[in-house]
Structure formats: structure tokens, C-alpha cells
């Protein structure tokens, strides 16, 4: 289990800052990070991440340029590419060659329900890039079991980024100021644990160190996104914000 799973938007404030940000997370011992590709219609994102995506796109952070920047090397956590399906489709046959030069270990495609593009998903898995299962509060239990059972790797020797499932703490969009009720989250985690030994990450609405500690006490990894993106935009450093939240 990772102590925290941070999220940042690639290209916010600009692409030139990305290698330094990744190095700062790595220096703190962060093992895995979600890296968002800016999208013009981020339907799952609240105002903070929408604004970050607009800043990134205005600065030219197209998917190809982001992956080319990542390919330049340097210290970095393992990356989970957080994206929508259309930017990946636009890369076409270039997607896998670009990914192979980067620290990306898996993808989380927000608007692609598992099984909708089976050949495309299978091709990514075969190349070593599993799609992270996304389990919302409305995911039927039987579907959650199927998603968790479709292990993309042979076991726990693979990185956290390639094994975990993302548990959405509540309905709505990210960063809207609503903290999740943790009692229902704990009940869902307990139910899921009866069907899987995969690491579980919990996101949406987490910010305060006490909330993060409560999620860790449930045996899950807390995801922190909007609050971190806003803090970085406000001029705080990675160490200032993430350090006290590492647990």
C-alpha cells in the first residue's frame, strides 16, 4: 500500500516545470503519482482541475508533447496516466511507442467503461499498460467483482500502479468542497476486500491530513488531487503541501 497517491495536471503551470515537479515527488519518497492529461471537456473534474486543464492547454500541453517531455528522463515516481479516451485515440498507433519511453505504468481512462473497447484494452495490457479499474458508489457489486478479478498482472511483485483499483468515495465531480462520508467508504472497502487482494485507492474530496490518515487506517491509499493542484497554483511547493500528508 502506498501512503498517498497524488494527482497533478501535466503542463500546469507549464511543461517546463513538469520534470522538476516529478523529481520533487520522488525526493519525498512518493512511489506512484497520477498525471492528468489536460482535456477540453473534463466531465468528471470540478472547477479546480478544469482551470488547471485550461492553463495547461493554453500552454500547449497536448498529449504528444506531455509524453515527449516525460521521455526526457529524470527522477520520477511511477506514473498512472489519468485521461479521457479521445486524447489517446488521437495519438493512434503512436501511443505505445511514446509510452515505452516514459515512467507511465498504467492508465486510468475516466470515460471508458471497462469492456467497451476490448481489443484496444487488450493491446495495452499485452504491452504492459493495464487500465486501472474505476469503482464508483453506483457500480453494481457483481460488476465490481468482475473488474477486480480481471487481474492485469501475475501478482504482487508488480508495481502498485499496475495492480491497484480506484474506489470513488462519493458521487459528483472532483474538488467541489464536499468531503466524503467515510463510514460508507469503509463498508465498501470491507465488501471489496472479500473479493480481492489488490491494493485499493480512495479518491474524491480528500484533503485534510486527518481524512487521509482515516483512509490509510482502512487499509487503502488516499488520493489527493484538487487540493494539491490548487496549492501548487497558489505557490506552495510539493514538499510544503505533501510532506505533512504522507502519514
Of residues 220 and 172, more confidence is placed in: 220
For residue 7, list its beta bridge partners. 34
158 φψ region: left (φ > 0), alpha (ψ -120 to 50), beta (else): beta
pLDDT higher than 60, residue 44: yes
pLDDT of residue 173: 47
Q: What does the DSSP assignment read for 146-187? A: HHHHS-SSSSTTS-HHHH-EEEE-SSS-TTSSPPPPHHHHHH
pLDDT of residue 61: 96
Report the candidate in 22, 20, 6, 10 with the shortest Cα–Cα distance to residue 59: 10
Note the pLDDT tens digit of each residue in 68-115: 999 999 999 999 999 999 999 999 999 999 999 999 999 999 999 888
Instruction: Yes or no: say if 171 and 136 are a contact pair by the CB < 8 Å rule.
Output: yes
pLDDT of residue 170: 67
Rounded Cα–Cα distance for residues 37 and 32 (Å): 16
Note the pLDDT tens digit of each residue in 53-62: 999 999 999 9
Among 77-91, 140-154, 203-217, 219-233, which stretch is predicted with the lowest mean pLDDT?
A: 140-154
pLDDT higher than 90, residue 151: no
Q: Which of 34, 78, 121, 207 is catalytic?
A: 34
Q: Which of 2, 45, 78, 207 is catalytic?
A: 45
Among 91-105, 140-154, 207-221, 229-243, which stretch is predicted with the lowest mean pLDDT?
A: 140-154
How many residues in the chain?
A: 247
Note the pLDDT tens digit of each residue in 169-196: 865 445 444 556 688 899 999 999 999 9
Instruction: Yes or no: say if 24 and 243 are a contact pair by the CB < 8 Å rule.
Output: no
Average pLDDT over the chain reads: 90
User: Is 45 tagged catalytic?
Assistant: yes
| Average of per-residue pLDDT across 117-143 | 92
The total domain count for the chain is 1
| Average of per-residue pLDDT across 135-150 | 90
| pTM of the predicted protein model | 0.93
| Domain extent at residue 153 | 5-245
Residue 118: exposed, middle, or buried by beta-carbon count in 10 A (0-12, 13-18, 19+)?
Answer: exposed
CATH number for the domain spanning 154: value is: 3.20.20.70
Instruction: Please give the share of the chain, as a percent, with pLDDT higher than 90.
Output: 77
User: Is 142 tagged catalytic?
Assistant: no
Amino acid at each position: 500500500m502506498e501512503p498517498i497517491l497524488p494527482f497533478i495536471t501535466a503542463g500546469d503551470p507549464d511543461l517546463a516545470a513538469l520534470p522538476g515537479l516529478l523529481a520533487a515527488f520522488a525526493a519525498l519518497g512518493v512511489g506512484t503519482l497520477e498525471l492528468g492529461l489536460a482535456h477540453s471537456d473534463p466531465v468528471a473534474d470540478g472547477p479546480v482541475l478544469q482551470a488547471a486543464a485550461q492553463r495547461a492547454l493554453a500552454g500547449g500541453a497536448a498529449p504528444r508533447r506531455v509524453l515527449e517531455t516525460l521521455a526526457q528522463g529524470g527522477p520520477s515516481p511511477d506514473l498512472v496516466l489519468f485521461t479521457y479516451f479521445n486524447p489517446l485515440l488521437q495519438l493512434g498507433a503512436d501511443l505505445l511507442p511514446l509510452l515505452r519511453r516514459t515512467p507511465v505504468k498504467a492508465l486510468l481512462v475516466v470515460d471508458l467503461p471497462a469492456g467497451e473497447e476490448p481489443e484496444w484494452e487488450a493491446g495495452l495490457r499485452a504491452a504492459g499498460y493495464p487500465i486501472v479499474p474505476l469503482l464508483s458508489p453506483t457500480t453494481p457489486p457483481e460488476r465490481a467483482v468482475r473488474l477486480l478479478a480481471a487481474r492485469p498482472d501475475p501478482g504482487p511483485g508488480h508495481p502498485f500502479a499496475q495492480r491497484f483499483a480506484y474506489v470513488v468515495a462519493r458521487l459528483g465531480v472532483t474538488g467541489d468542497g464536499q468531503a466524503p462520508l467515510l463510514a460508507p467508504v469503509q463498508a465498501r472497502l470491507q465488501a471489496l476486500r472479500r473479493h480481492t487482494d489488490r491494493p485499493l485507492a480512495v479518491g474524491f474530496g480528500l484533503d485534510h491530513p486527518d481524512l487521509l490518515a482515516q483512509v490509510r487506517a482502512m487499509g487503502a491509499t488516499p488520493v489527493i488531487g484538487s487540493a494539491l493542484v490548487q496549492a501548487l497554483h497558489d505557490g506552495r511547493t510539493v514538499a510544503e503541501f505533501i510532506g505533512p500528508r504522507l502519514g
